Each structure stands twice: as C-alpha cells, then as structure tokens.
Chain A
Amino acid sequence: QVQLQESGPGLVKPSETLSLMCAVSGGSISTSYWSWIRQSPGKGLEWLGRVYISGTHDYNPALKDRVTMSVSMSKNEVSLRLTSVTAADTAVYYCARDSGDYGDFVNNWFDPWGQGTLVIVSS
C-alpha cells in the first residue's frame, strides 16, 4: 500500500522559502495527483494545491504566486516550495494522494496522508 513521508526543515526564517519533500513508497507516483495540505490552530485544515507527474497543477488562489509543487519520478518524491513565508505559514504540513473514481481527476478525496511535518516560521 502507498505510504507517504514528509521531510524538511522544521524552522524557517520570515521572508525565506519553505521547502518540503514527500517520499512516496509502495505505489506508482505517476498515476495520481498529489496534494499538500497544512493544519494550523488558527486556520484549521487548508488545501495548498496539487500536482501531477506531468507538472499539471492546481494551486489554492489564497496562496497567490507563493507556491510551487513538482513531482520527481526518478526520486519518487513530491516537493513543495512556499516563498516569502510569515508566521501565518507556521503549521503542520501534510502530503496526500488524491483519490477518486477511475479517470476522475476533479472530484478527489485524500487517501492516504503522510504523518505530517511541523514547520515553524520564526527568526
């Protein structure tokens, strides 16, 4: 079964770039969209966006131009970059696989999720 594991710095300075990786094991990285979701006490669960192996992506408009996601088939990894971070970006970040009916890449739920990684934005 597919398992996901997030990794990356736990502390990022304000105005810098947050970079996280999600290692995918136990399944193909090329047949699903992969989403990033974060959870903070103030904003609950927030979907950040998703990416496909081709590079096709959908980002949450709330993040404007700060977010970039990509997939590496050679490394079996999904990456997240979030620029110009502030304290409001402090959260637990999760990666998750988009799941849905065969061929449906719009109406998707999330299963499974990685265990999450806490990122604190502070100087």
Chain B
Amino acid sequence: DIQMTQSPSSLSASVGDRVTLTCRASQSIGTWLAWYQQKPGKAPVLLIYKASTLQSGVSSRFSGSGSGTEFTLTINNLQPDDFATYYCQQFSSYSPYTFGQGTKVDIK
C-alpha cells in the first residue's frame, strides 16, 4: 500500500492567516493526489484533485501544489469557515486508494 503522511497533525491559526499543510507519499504518485475538507459530523468535501486543480465552486483561497512524493495545500486569508480537518488521498493506485491521517486546523 502507498502510505500517506500529513503534517502537522494539527495547527492553530488566526483569521486572515496563510497556512500550509503538507502531505507526503511513501512512493511517487505523480500528481494523482486529492485534498478534502471535513467538518465535524459531516462527510469530506473535495477541494482539489490532480494535486492542483481546484474543484468547481471551491474558493480560490485554496491552492495545491507538488508532485512525486511531496504535496502542499495552502489556504490564503483563512476564514472562519475554513476551520476543519483536511485530508489528502492518493489515487495513483487503487490497490488500495489511501488517505492521510488528517490535519486539523483550529482557531488560535
């Protein structure tokens, strides 16, 4: 299995901050990576796919980058609605598809 490791596991930030979340793959996955946002009691919601393509309807304050084994999700001008947990997922191989353990972004 391809292991996905996210860092940090949690971070505290203020409204208006820029935050960067990292996701590392145990082997190269090209740009076959997605990012999801999950709020308590809700299902994950797709933010970005193919490492850097913004899902329709998602704020342009979110951006993704990276390839191979290292990826980042950046949130500019953090808003109250952005406080949530973020997960990365690799889809290079469906044997099996795997997720990172998540990064929780909370209010400082």
Contact = CB atoms under 8 A, between A and B. Distances in A.
Contact of A47 (B49, B92, B96, B102): B96
Contacts of B94: 50, 58, 106, 108
A111 B44 CA distance: 9
Interface residues of A, number: 25
Interface string A80-111: 00000000000000100001100000111111
Interface in B59-105: 87, 89, 91-92, 94-102
Q: Which of B34, B49, B102 has its CB near the most chain A CB atoms (within 10 A)?
A: B49
Interface of A is mostly: strand
Nearest to A116: B43
B46 interface: yes
B22 to A, nearest CB: 17
Interface in B30-74: 32, 34, 36, 42-46, 49, 55
19 contacts: A35-B97, A44-B101, A45-B99, A45-B102, A47-B97, A58-B95, A58-B96, A62-B96, A94-B44, A99-B49, A100-B91, A106-B94, A107-B91, A109-B46, A109-B91, A110-B36, A113-B43, A113-B44, A115-B43
